[in-house]
């Protein structure tokens, strides 16, 4: 067998091997499907950590994944309880108390469940059909947030002093 025939024979075998491997690999997953959020889940709030973080139990999940799970609210950011500015710390306490009052032991639903940049669970949290992030934004206790650079919470102080 000549060298060119041998090369052709090896190339044909390689092509057949690749086709066979592709046939057994199954369908390709699109990038969009890889980041699809989980289905909505009913949850019980165990603790309100701060204005935008809850600890929840999701009874339909296995305990290792569904008990005492920190959930960050999607769509908003509240001031931090340890902010150096005492006015923002006061707003952080007000946001946490607002969330505690709105929740008041009511069951919640987690929607658009996913992971954030620090691998935290991020979800839309609904209580009595209302989005908790929207309620915080409307109350002037949070700023819109979609991830990325940390937002400026001082705009909340300006809004608070402008309110009648």
71-91 tens-digit pLDDT: 999 999 999 999 999 999 999
DSSP conformation class of 124: E
Quick one: which H or E segment has residue 123? strand 121-127
The predicted model scores a pTM of: 0.75
Per the domain annotation, does 114 fall within a domain?
yes
Per the domain annotation, does 9 fall within a domain?
no
The domain that holds 68 is classified in CATH as 2.40.50.90
Per the domain annotation, does 135 fall within a domain?
yes
**Which residues have CB under 8 Å from 28's CB, separation 6+?**
none
What proportion of the chain, given as a percentage, has pLDDT over 90? Answer: 58
Residue ranges making up the domain that contains 95: 36-142
Q: Is 119 helix (H, G, I), strand (E, B) or coil?
A: coil
Q: How many domains does the chain have?
A: 1
């Amino acid at each position: 067998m000549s060298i060119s025939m041998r090369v052709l024979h090896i190339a044909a075998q390689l092509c057949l091997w690749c086709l066979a491997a592709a046939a057994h690999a199954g369908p390709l997953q699109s990038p969009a499907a890889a980041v699809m959020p989980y289905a909505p889940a009913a949850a019980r709030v165990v603790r309100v950590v701060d204005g935008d973080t809850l600890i929840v139990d999701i009874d339909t999940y296995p305990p290792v994944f569904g008990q005492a799970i920190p959930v960050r609210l999607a769509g908003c950011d509240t001031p931090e309880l340890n902010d150096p500015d005492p006015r923002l710390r006061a707003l952080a306490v007000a946001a946490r108390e607002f969330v505690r009052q709105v929740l008041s032991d009511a069951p919640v639903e987690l929607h658009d469940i996913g992971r954030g940049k620090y691998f935290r669970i991020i979800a839309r949290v609904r209580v009595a059909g209302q989005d908790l992030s929207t309620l915080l934004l409307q109350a002037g206790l949070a700023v819109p947030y979609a991830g990325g650079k940390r937002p400026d919470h001082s705009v909340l102080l300006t809004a608070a002093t402008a309110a009648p």
